[in-house]
Structure 1
Amino acid sequence: MTTTTDTLRFATAGSVDDGKSTLVGRLLHDSKSVLTDQLEAVERASADRGQHTPDLALLTDGLRAEREQGITIDVAYRYFATPHRRFILADTPGHVQYTRNMVTGASTAELTIILVDARNGIVEQTRRHAAIATLLRVPHVVLAVNKMDLVDYQEPEFDRIVADFAGHAAELGLPSFTPIPVSALVGDNVVERSAAMDWYTGPALLEFLETVPVTADPADAPARFPVQYVIRHGDVRRYAGQLVSGALRVGDRVTVHPSGATSEITAIDVLGEEVAAAHAPQSIGLCLADQRDVSRGDLISAGVDAPALTRNVTAAVCHLADRPLRTGDRVLLKHTTRTVRAVVESLGDATELSANDLGRITLRTAEPLALDDYAVSRRTGAFILIDPADGATLTAGMARVGSPA
Structure 2
Amino acid sequence: MAWGTHVWNGGISHPGWRFRESSGLPDGNYISADENHKFGFRGKPFTELQLLRIVEGCAKEMNQKRTTGILPLDVERAFDRVWRKGLIYKMAKTGISKKMCQLIDSCICKRTFSVKVENYGQRTEAQKLECRKERDIPRTSNTTLALFADDTALMSSSWRKEHVRRNLQLAADELQKWFIKWKVKVNATKSQAILIGRKCDRIVGNINLGGANNIRYLGVVLDTRLTWRQHMTTAINKAKASTAMLHPLLNRRSQMSVRNKLLLIKSVIRPAMTYPSTVWGYAAKTYLRQLQATENKLLRMAIDAPWFVRNTQIYRDLKWEPLRDFLQRKAASTFEKAENHPFVELRNAVDYSPEDAGPRKKRPRHQMAQQGNR
If the TM-score is normalised by the length of the shorter chain, which range does it land in?
A: under 0.3
Q: More strand by proportion, 1 or 2? A: 1
What's the TM-score once normalised by structure 2's chain length?
0.22
Q: More helix by proportion, 1 or 2? A: 2
What's the TM-score once normalised by structure 1's chain length?
0.21
Of structures 1 and 2, the one scoring higher in RCO (CA 8 A, sep 6+) is: 2
